[in-house]
């Protein structure tokens, strides 16, 4: 076939799959990325070790991850460790007052030391976080993040809003903490025993670029688990703000002076950059509002975020309600971002990504009056890839939500599988509401796969009539909110399917 014919064939196939490209040369890497994506196979059942194809897939993934940073691991050894897990036995032993061996926690694909499971997992040594290894990796990743933004044609960022999670830092020895430190041009200060005791600045001559302002919003879990690191981050921001440097070379100082003049507050107050919930409180409540459908204007989502996350943690470690300062700090932000640290959790698998990253993005967009770029730094496979949120949604929709391997694995778990599909649809709407970065084809294909396909619709409704109904009504909600504008035929079919699902729920169609 002629080259032009082939190009047309490829273009037609891509159009059918809603894959857009500027240059055909981009396609191999994009397709390879999708092909290579790891997808969790259903849910873990306590006490049940992986078997059959799932066991082989898991070993494959562990072999791949293991060979990235050293000699290829021994498959038989990995398999023996995997098979020797005795979670139920260990639980009973613990309940009997017996001793359960300690073991590291984390992602089994990346760290085989986690095996066998069913041991008493310990997280980390708080005095060693971030570790030297994490500082090196975090510094490289911070550079990759800046490069992605700048290579996209944007000016060098003055300010970044970053979401920090506790478990991700535990899994990575504090890589995300190290990223934040590097961006500000700071590093951990350690005592003569090598234990963490605070922050210190990297001299500008060594840093070789301006200090970037970082507005950090911590999950409640981070705040609880990592009080020393919380204070270290606050100290880094304060030291940067106080440094006797020009505002062209130090954006933390530049913005602090602006905030101070605006609010007429103490310098130290204007240098607050670490925000989280009030003590004892968790989450931004943005996910709950989206789940309940109880918002009229996206500004209400920004309000929820700021009300819940508007507590500043300064160098004393004691939180102070500072919503105005959070708003001012977010008003300088060029882009928002968060890491993905584990293959287990994609951006739609739990609703806390929309809650924290979506929430902060909505607040930044409101403060600035323009939509905010969002990046995801994917560190789940050993190497790092920075994607825009739009690219991440594209990838995960194709490799998870719409991928039979993902949903069939979950549907083996019955009603819970349908609930997980519903969760993806709700998160998708959440990303639209908070960031506006969901392409129409995502809603179209979700509708076709889970609602408009009669056999699938029946199947979901038999397994979990409530969730199946909510999948359809959520898609209609997206239409009502003008987050997605399908063609008339799709809309009519969705409405009809939704009516049928409601009738089935009300028992008009008794279970077959
Ligand atoms: C955390 O580790 O901080 C976290 C994990 C899951 C959801 C929200 C926060
Ligand atoms: Mg990792």
- Give the nearest ligand 1 atom to 169 CA: 2
Distance 344 CA to ligand 2 centre (A): 11
Whether the CB-CB separation of 286 and 324 falls below 8 Å is answered with no
Residue 85 tokens read as 């897990």
Ligand nearest to the CA of 340: 2
Ligand 1 neighbourhood includes 124 CB (under 6 angstroms): no
Is residue 97 domain-resident? yes
Could you tell me if 382 and 411 lie in one domain? no
Listed residue (248, 305, 310) closest to 434, CA to CA? 305
Q: What are the residues whose beta carbons fall under 8 Å from the beta carbon of 363, sequence distance 6 or more?
A: 302, 305, 306, 326, 327, 330
Cβ of 222 closer than 6 Å to ligand 1, yes or no, is yes
Whole-angstrom distance, CA of residue 360 vs CA of residue 12: 38
Is there a domain that residue 4 lies in?
no
Determine the distance from the C-alpha atom of residue 231 to the mean position of all C-alpha atoms in its chain, rounded to a whole number: 23
- Asked if 351 and 212 sit in the same domain, the reply is yes
Question: Which ligand has its closest atom nearest to the C-alpha of 339?
Answer: 2
444 and 327 together in one domain: no
Q: CB atoms < 10 A from the CB of 230, how many?
A: 24
Which residue from 162, 166, 281 has its CB within 8 A of the most atoms of ligand 1, so it is best to mutate? 166
**388: which strand partners?**
375
Provide, rounded to the nearest whole percent, the portion of the chain with pLDDT above 70: 98
Reported as a pLDDT band with limits 50, 70 and 90, residue 508 is: low
Residue 326 located in a structural domain: yes
> 324 and 460 share a domain?
no
Taking Cα atoms as reference points, which of 352, 342, 379, 360 lies closest to residue 291? 352
In this predicted model, what pLDDT tens digit does every residue of 266-292 receive, in sequence order?
999 999 999 999 999 999 999 999 999
Q: Mind giving me the DSSP string for 20-67?
A: --SSGGGHHHHHHHHHH-----S---TT----HHHHHHHHHHHHHHHH
Ligand nearest to the CA of 107: 2
What is the pLDDT, as a whole number, of residue 172?
A: 86
pTM of the model: 0.90
pLDDT at 68: 66
Per-residue pLDDT, averaged over 114-143, amounts to: 91
Which pair of structure tokens corresponds to residue 136? 């090196």
Please list, in sequence order, all residues whose beta carbon lies within 8 angstroms of the beta carbon of residue 168, skipping any fewer than 6 positions away: 175, 176, 339, 341, 342
Residue 183 in any domain: the answer is no
152 and 115 in a single domain? The answer is: no
Domain limit, last residue, from 358, 386, 414: 386
Phi, psi (degrees; rounded to nearest 5) at 164: -115, 130
The average confidence (pLDDT) of the chain is: 93
- Cβ–ligand 1 distance for 353 under 6 Å, the answer no
238 shares its domain with 369: yes
> In this structure, is residue 212 part of a structural domain?
yes
The neighbour count for residue 285, using CB atoms within 10 Å, is 19
Q: Which of 170, 219, 351 to probe ligand 1 with, by most ligand atoms within 8 A of CB? A: 219
pLDDT recorded at residue 329? 98
* Residue 262 structure tokens: 């605006």
Q: Are residues 62 and 162 in the same domain?
A: no
Answer yes or no: do 360 and 470 share one domain. Answer: no
Can you tell me the distance from the alpha carbon of 358 to that of 435, in angstroms, rounded to the nearest whole number? 6
Whether residue 304 is found in the same domain as residue 371: yes
C-alpha to C-alpha distance for 241 and 254, rounded to whole angstroms: 8
Report the nearest atom of ligand 1 relative to the CA of 167. Answer: 2
Query: Which whole-number Å values give the CA distances from 30 to 265, 319, 391, in the listed order?
Result: 49, 44, 10
Which has the closest alpha carbon to 468: 446, 494, 493, 498? Answer: 498
Q: 363, 365, 262: which is closest to 306 by C-alpha?
A: 363
Is the shortest distance between the CB of 221 and ligand 1 below 6 Å? yes
In terms of domains, do 249 and 283 share one?
yes
Instruction: Provide the angle, in degrees to the nearest 10, between the axes of the packed helices 488-505 and 440-447.
Output: 50
Domain housing 303: 142-171+208-386
Q: How far is the CA of 220 from the centre of ligand 2 (A)?
A: 22
Is residue 447 in some structural domain? yes
Among candidate residues 280, 269, 330, the one with its CA nearest the CA of residue 305: 330
Asked whether residue 452 is domain-assigned, the answer is yes
Q: Is residue 176 part of a domain?
A: no
As a whole number, mean pLDDT of residues 318-328 equals 97
pLDDT, tens digit (0-9, with 9 covering 90-100), for 401-439: 999 999 999 999 999 999 999 999 999 999 999 999 999
Cβ–ligand 1 contact at 219 (below 6 Å): yes
Atom of ligand 1 nearest to the CA of 222: 3
Alpha carbon distances (Å) from 381 to 64, 82, 199, 230, 344: 9, 20, 30, 27, 11
Residue 352 CB–ligand 1 contact under 6 Å? yes
Which is the closest atom of ligand 1 to the Cα of 219? Answer: 3
Which ligand minimizes its atom distance to the CA of 343? 2
Residues surrounding ion ligand 2 at CB below 5 Å: 110, 379
Judge if the beta carbon of residue 181 lies within 6 A of ligand 1: no
Minimum CA distance residue for ligand 1 atom 8: 352
Average pLDDT over residues 326-334: 98
**β-pairing, 213-218 with 159-164?**
parallel
Total domains in the fold of the chain: 3
Q: Are residues 153 and 82 in the same domain?
A: no
- Co-location of 164 and 258 in the same domain: yes
- Which residues lie below 8 Å from residue 479, measured CB to CB, with a gap of 6+? 485, 486, 491, 494
Please name which ligand lies nearest the alpha carbon of 168.
Answer: 1
What confidence category does residue 171 fall into, taking pLDDT thresholds of 50, 70 and 90? confident
Indicate which atom in ligand 1 lies nearest the CA of residue 221.
3
User: Ligand 2: distance of its center to the CA of 155 in Å?
Assistant: 29
Task: Decide: 167 in ligand 1 pocket, CB within 6 A.
Answer: yes
Of the three residues 354, 386, 418, the one that is the final residue of a domain is 386
Closest by CA position to 181, among listed 167, 166, 195, 160 = 160
Q: Whose CA is nearest to atom 7 of ligand 1?
A: 352
Q: Which atom of ligand 1 is nearest the CA belonging to 170?
A: 2
For ligand 1, say whether the CB of 166 is within 6 Å of any of its atoms: yes
Tokens for 412, please give them: 């083996």
Burial class (CB in 10 A: 0-12, 13-18, 19+), 357: buried
Nearest listed ligand to the Cα of residue 283:
1
3-state secondary structure of 486: coil
pLDDT confidence of 509, banded at 50, 70, 90?
A: low
* Domain finish residue from 355, 386, 417: 386
Question: What is the tens place of the pLDDT at every residue in 133-159?
Answer: 999 999 999 999 999 999 999 999 999
Tokens of 407: 């949903």
């Amino acid at each position: 076939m002629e080259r032009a014919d082939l190009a047309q064939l490829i273009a037609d196939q891509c159009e059918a799959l809603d894959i857009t490209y500027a240059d055909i040369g981009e396609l191999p890497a994009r397709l390879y990325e999708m092909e290579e994506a790891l997808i969790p196979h259903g849910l873990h059942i306590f006490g049940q070790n992986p078997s059959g194809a799932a066991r082989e897939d898991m070993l494959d993934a562990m072999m791949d991850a293991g060979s990235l940073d050293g000699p290829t691991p021994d498959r038989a050894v990995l398999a023996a460790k995997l098979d020797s897990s005795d979670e139920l036995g260990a639980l009973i032993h613990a309940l009997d007052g017996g001793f359960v061996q300690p073991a590291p926690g984390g992602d089994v694909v990346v760290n085989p030391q986690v095996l066998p499971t069913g041991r008493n997992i310990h997280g980390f040594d708080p005095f060693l976080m971030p570790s030297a290894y994490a500082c090196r990796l975090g510094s490289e990743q911070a550079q990759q993040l800046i490069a992605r933004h700048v290579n996209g044609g944007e000016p060098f960022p003055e300010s970044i809003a970053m979401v920090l999670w506790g478990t991700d830092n535990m899994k990575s020895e504090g890589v995300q903490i190290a990223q934040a430190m590097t961006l500000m041009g700071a590093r951990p200060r350690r005592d003569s025993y090598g234990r963490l005791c605070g922050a210190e600045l990297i001299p500008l001559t060594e840093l070789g670029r301006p200090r970037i302002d970082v507005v950090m919003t911590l999950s409640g879990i981070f705040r609880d688990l990592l009080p020393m690191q919380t204070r270290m981050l606050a100290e880094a921001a304060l030291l940067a703000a106080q440094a006797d440097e020009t505002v062209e070379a130090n954006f933390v100082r530049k913005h602090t002076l602006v905030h101070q003049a605006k609010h007429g507050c103490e310098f130290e107050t204007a240098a607050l950059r670490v925000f989280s919930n009030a003590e004892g409180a968790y989450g931004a409540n943005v996910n709950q509002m989206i789940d309940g459908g109880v918002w009229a204007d996206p500004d209400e989502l920004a309000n929820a975020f700021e009300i819940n996350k508007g507590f500043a943690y300064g160098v004393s470690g004691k939180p102070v309600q500072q919503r105005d300062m959070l708003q001012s700090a977010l008003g300088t932000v060029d882009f928002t971002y968060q890491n993905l640290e584990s293959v287990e959790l994609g951006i739609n698998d739990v609703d806390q990504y929309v809650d924290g990253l979506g929430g902060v993005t909505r607040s930044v967009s409101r403060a600035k009056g323009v939509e905010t770029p969002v990046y995801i730094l994917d560190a789940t496979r050993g190497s790092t890839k920075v994607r825009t949120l739009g690219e991440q949604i594209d990838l995960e929709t194709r490799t998870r939500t719409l991928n039979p391997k993902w949903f069939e694995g979950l549907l083996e778990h019955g009603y819970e599988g349908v609930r997980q599909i519903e969760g993806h649809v709700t998160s998708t709407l959440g990303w639209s509401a908070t960031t506006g970065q969901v392409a129409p084809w995502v809603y179209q294909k979700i509708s076709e796969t889970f609602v408009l396909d009669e056999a699938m619709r029946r199947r979901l409704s038999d397994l979990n009539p409530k969730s199946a109904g909510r999948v359809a009504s959520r898609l209609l909600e997206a239409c009502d909110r003008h987050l997605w504008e399908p063609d008339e035929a799709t809309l009519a079919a969705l409405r009809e399917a939704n009516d049928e699902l409601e009738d089935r729920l009300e028992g008009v169609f008794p279970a077959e």
